[in-house]
Amino acid sequence: MKSIIFSLITAGGLMVAGSAMAIDMPPLAKKDGCTACHAIDHKVVGPAWVDVAKKYKGVTKYKYSNNGSAAPDAKEYPLVEGLMMKVSKGGHGNWGTAAMIPNDPAGKKQADIKELVEFELSLAK
């Protein structure tokens, strides 16, 4: 009987811990339409945000060009600034054939984009 009670308590604790660790997209990401192409933990059209965070964990620089990171005109930027440019102006070449559409070509949502990029990078484990 004690082992059954212990098992139930353990299982319940693991379920609570698992749901407490689950991370949802921030409301800002939903408002700005990021969820149309991205999710936290799985690929949609674009990469999962945790995969982006893992890719750039420990990285300090980002090569950006609308024509892809390997393009001859790509310039190196601090990581957050470079990723902000990718989100703002769009581009392709980092995650396969799907292009990142421009999300702020006029530069009016830079504070929102910075907040989302920093959130995304914080997901690296």
Cα 121 vs. chain centroid, distance in angstroms?
Answer: 6
For residue range 22-77, list pLDDT tens digits in order.
Answer: 788 999 999 999 999 999 999 999 999 999 999 999 999 999 988 877 888 899 99
CA-nearest of 108, 99, 44 to 66 is 99
Domain ranges of the chain: 24-121
Amino acid at 98: A
Q: State the pTM of this model.
A: 0.78
Q: What is the CATH number of domain 24-121?
A: 1.10.760.10
User: Residue 13 is encoded by which pair of tokens?
Assistant: 């604790």
Q: C-alpha angle with apex 74: 86 to 79, nearest 5 degrees?
A: 50
Amino acid at 92: H
For residue range 74-101, list pLDDT tens digits in order.
Answer: 999 999 999 999 999 998 888 888 899 9
| Bridge partners (DSSP) listed for residue 77 | 62
